[in-house]
Structure 1
Amino acid sequence: MGGRVARFVPGWWAVAVLMAGVLLIPAAPAAAHNSLTGSDPANGARLADPPTRIRLSFLARLDPGTTKITITGPDNVPASGGAPTISGSKVTVPFRAGAAGLYVVAYQVASSDGHPIKGEVRFTLTRGTPAAPPSATPTAAPSAVPGGPTAGQPTATPSGAPAPSSTVAVPGSPAADTDSDGGAPWWPWALGAALLLAALAGAIVLTRRRKV
């Protein structure tokens, strides 16, 4: 009985080794593929203060020649602040924050068997960077009316025409009785001289009659 058991023991060991080999065969290609193990910010994070850099960690060492990282913000605006820096299995990219909203970090790395691995990390900024203050707009000066005087300038008088007077002449007033050269009227003086001569002549005639 004991000899029969001893003859079958090597057969069971052969079966166990064969089954272990079958189970380990699928694990070999899986180990050859690279994969993301972590990120900062984490996938799905919501941040009030924007980070200064994005960091991704992978299972295997990264190749700088085949590693590609892009960061886009709302409306697909690029948000990378510079080229990525690779150190072993980690890659760091400067981040340039923009408007509040969803940001997508897309990556592409190569595995040891040459197979490319692609993926995304998404996070949300709850508040964006403040916008630049608007520049001051100069106030336009009022345009002059064609043919009219400009505000603040005196009205030009045509050459040869008398300047308009601010005094309104009333008929019968001294201002209305001035002649064209600006002097006083001459006819009152002539009338007074004539009356004086007539009175003098009458006085001479009366004196002579009294003497006769």
Structure 2
Amino acid sequence: MSVLRQPGVLGRTAHRRVVGVTAALSAAVVESVAVGLWFGLIVGSPSASTALAGLGLLFCGSLLRAGVVGATVSTLGDLLQPRRLGVALLLTASWIVWLFVARLFGGVLGVVVATAVLACVLTGQFVLERRVFRQPTHHRIAFTPVVPGLLMAVGASFLLVATWFVDWGASSPPLTLGPTTVVLRIEALQIAVLVFAVFVFCAHQRRFQRILEP
């Protein structure tokens, strides 16, 4: 009954939910595209040019995601501030370490160990990100982003599984468009990127839900 007497409370709650979902969707799109393109370029036998291009895409995606977080929980500010650049660099390094560990161990063990390492690193990165972007008065709020880190790490494991263990692809019948014949093909990695995007969205939605709590 006390909530019904204060309609503004419901309005603020609905506003926070809309902001949280919108921010989570934006961050998930940016991160899924960046990580997906980087992973697609780096798997197999990449050349030096594709490796550098993939690294550049990954860093730009990390910087944009940092901007989404900053605009959501505080102010957009200057993305090129040293602390914010550090957040983006740490996120970029997290994915590089994840793939390095996965390749170092290889096979199922590599997937398991890399997932555990990525979950731990992302959890630490989320804590740092919160300290960088939140105002000092909010530091007292308890926030342990273990679940978001684990969700993203599990989603990333689908990329490894699709690349190493799944040999699957489906092609559509040839489609004739004037003088051109088009064949649509879906690979296992493309499905894995979509699954990864869902996990990333769930992770960020949980993060923003907790961060935006009054």
Q: TM bucket by the smaller chain? A: under 0.3
Greater strand share, structure number: 1
TM-score by length of 1: 0.26
Higher relative contact order (CA 8 A, sep 6+): 2
TM-score by length of 2: 0.26
